[in-house]
């Protein structure tokens, strides 16, 4: 601590003084410059270790413009999907010597703006983000690219902004669910769609419709209910569906929480799952394997998505001149009891 109560660490100056050389020599030695003799390097390294020297990242970043830090923004960390993605990003980043700054938007544009300001202020080398659900004009994201900081969008993306994107094939995921439901003998399948301003939910609806079309089943608007993918809305949607003149014999929800809500309603009504009605969700939320019956869902390979996104972000951070690309990951169907009414073959 100096006289002002601030903490003071060991600096290259201290090492330099110890060895009667200049800070520049120490710096070069530490960074393995070829212009420094091997013996000097060893001396410097020894003293550095002895003094427990730790480079001040801030100073290095300020000088070099590279902060060795990735900014990650997700709507929330307590969904298993996002938390896995983060884990993937972290693994990849820390392997490359980068640290990760995580922020949550709580699906609020205002918070997004705030977080972006934080990222930019902290001079992160790249930003990885999954968009908030709130409708917006994405101008705050443009400020990132304006400052020449690489931006990678994952999962919740938009076409309104031209950057690198990592998504899963939501269209295909939805179709896989539908094929499975057809295979199990369900024919009148309802869909609990997510907010359609979010691209991935729109994609899933597209997959739903495409699967119907393949079977030459006309699309029935009554069976496709748009709702935020939370438990209560799934419950209400199921209620509505069961009140129809021709209720569905299966419900495919665009999110696991809505699927769960629907299931709760059906169970309260003593409707047997999967015998009378089949249920499927999306995201492979951890509870889907715990509840009874376990819920059929779609795994999004979240860890892999994080790794892929991080790799891309890191490469962009090192060499910023690259053209925007979109990587599409293939999701996997996970069949569980909520939709299995045929015996195993």
Nearer to its own copies, 86 or 312 (CB): 86
In the chain, at which residue ranges do the beta strands (DSSP E only) sit?
69-74, 99-104, 126-129, 151-154, 164-168, 189-193, 224-226, 250-253, 278-280, 297-299, 326-329, 332-334
**Sheet with 126-129, side-by-side order of all strands:** 99-104, 69-74, 126-129, 151-154, 164-168, 326-329
Among 87, 140, 179, 240, indicate the residue that binds its own copies (CB under 8 A). Answer: 87
What residues pair up with 101 in beta bridges, in sequence order? 71
d(CA 269, CA 329): 38
11 binds, among DNA, its own copies, none (CB under 5 to 8 A by kind): DNA
Q: Cis peptide leading into 274, omega within 30 of 0?
A: yes
Count the residues of the shown chain that bind its own copies, applying the rule CB under 8 A.
56
d(CA 248, CA 270): 16
Nearer to DNA, 25 or 164 (CB): 25
322 binds, among DNA, its own copies, none (CB under 5 to 8 A by kind): none
Output the smallest distance, CB 164 to DNA, in A: 25
9 binds its own copies (CB under 8 A): yes
Among 1, 5, 32, 35, indicate the residue that binds DNA (CB under 7 A). Answer: 35
Output the smallest distance, CB 266 to DNA, in A: 59
118 binds, among its own copies, DNA, none (CB under 5 to 8 A by kind): its own copies
Choose the binding region for DNA from 25-33, 76-84, 150-158, 334-342 (rule: CB under 7 A).
Answer: 25-33
d(CA 226, CA 298): 19
Nearer to DNA, 50 or 56 (CB): 56
End-to-end CA distance of the chain: 72
275 binds its own copies (CB under 8 A): no
What residues pair up with 36 in beta bridges, in sequence order? none
Nearer to DNA, 49 or 63 (CB): 63
104 binds, among DNA, its own copies, none (CB under 5 to 8 A by kind): its own copies
d(CA 9, CA 19): 18
40 binds DNA (CB under 7 A): yes
**Binding residues for DNA (CB under 7 A):** 8-9, 11-13, 20-25, 27-28, 30-31, 33, 35-37, 39-40, 53-56, 59-60, 62-64
């Amino acid at each position: 601590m100096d006289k002002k109560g601030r903490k003071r660490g060991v600096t290259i100056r201290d090492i330099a003084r110890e060895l009667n050389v200049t800070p520049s020599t120490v710096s070069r030695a530490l960074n393995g410059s070829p212009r420094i003799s091997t013996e000097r390097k060893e001396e410097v390294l020894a003293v550095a270790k002895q003094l427990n020297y730790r480079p001040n990242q801030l100073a290095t970043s300020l000088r070099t413009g590279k902060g060795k830090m990735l900014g990650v923004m997700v709507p929330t960390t307590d969904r298993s999907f996002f938390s896995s993605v983060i884990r993937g990003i972290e693994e990849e980043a820390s392997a490359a010597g980068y640290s990760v700054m995580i922020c949550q938007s709580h699906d609020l544009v205002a918070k997004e703006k705030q977080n972006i300001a934080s990222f930019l202020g902290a001079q992160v080398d790249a930003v990885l983000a999954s968009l908030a659900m709130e409708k917006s004009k994405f101008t705050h994201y443009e400020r990132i690219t304006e400052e020449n900081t690489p931006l990678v969008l994952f999962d919740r993306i938009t076409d309104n902004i031209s950057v690198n994107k990592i998504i899963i094939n939501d269209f295909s995921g939805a179709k896989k669910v539908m094929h499975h439901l057809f295979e199990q003998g369900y024919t009148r399948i309802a869909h609990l769609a997510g907010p359609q301003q979010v691209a991935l939910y729109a994609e899933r609806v597209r997959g739903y419709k495409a699967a119907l079309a393949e079977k030459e089943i006309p699309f029935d608007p009554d069976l496709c209910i748009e709702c935020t993918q939370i438990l209560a809305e799934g419950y209400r949607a199921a209620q509505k569906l069961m009140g129809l003149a021709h209720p569905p014999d299966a419900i495919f929800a665009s999110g696991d929480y809505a699927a769960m809500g629907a299931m709760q309603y059906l169970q309260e009504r003593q409707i047997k799952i999967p015998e009378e009605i089949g249920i499927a969700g999306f995201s492979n939320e951890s509870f889907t394997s715990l509840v009874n019956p376990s819920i059929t869902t779609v795994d999004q390979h979240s860890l892999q998505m994080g790794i892929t996104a991080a790799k891309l972000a890191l490469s962009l951070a090192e060499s910023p001149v690259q053209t925007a690309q979109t990587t599409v990951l293939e999701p996997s169907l996970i069949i569980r009891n909520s939709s299995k009414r045929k015996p195993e073959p």
